Amino acid sequence: MTHLARSRSVFGGDFKGKEAALGAIARYPQMLQDITLDFHDIVANDKHVVALVNSSFKRGGKRIRTRSSISPHHDQAKATEGWIIADTELAKTAVAG
């Protein structure tokens, strides 16, 4: 299961299963251009990983910069759940125009 902060964003929601999660991720390059991710820091233990990410993308000729946190939970080297905390309102505004 992957959780993206809901808040009325086109990207937000809960996505259960590999196909649903990949489908949600596939929407990004369809709506945004020149997506870049710069991993600021990664912290991990036996069960969790937290990545602090500076990201940017282009939409309508404007570059948008944001920060997010990606937190997958894993069990025996297999990701079982993930959380992405990001400024989805910023992305929504960029996608809308």
Q: Is the dihedral of CA 30, 35, 40, 44 positive or negative?
A: positive
Determine the pLDDT at residue 42. Answer: 93
**Could you tell me whether strands 78-86 and 2-4 are parallel, antiparallel, or unpaired per DSSP bridges?**
parallel
* Count of beta carbons in the 10 Å neighbourhood of residue 4: 21
pLDDT digits (tens, 9 = 90+) for 63-73: 888 888 888 87
pLDDT category at 46 given cuts 50, 70, 90 is confident
* Residue 40 predicted with pLDDT over 90: yes
Distances 55 to 3, 24, 58, 76, 91 between C-alpha atoms, Å: 18, 17, 11, 29, 11
* Residue 95 predicted with pLDDT over 80: no
Mean pLDDT for all residues in the chain:
76
Question: Cβ(10)–Cβ(28) under 8 Å?
Answer: no
Determine the pLDDT at residue 7. Answer: 45
Question: Cβ(70)–Cβ(64) under 8 Å?
Answer: no
Distances 37 to 29, 55, 65, 77 between C-alpha atoms, Å: 13, 5, 10, 23
* Residue 50 predicted with pLDDT over 50: yes
Determine the pLDDT at residue 8. Answer: 47
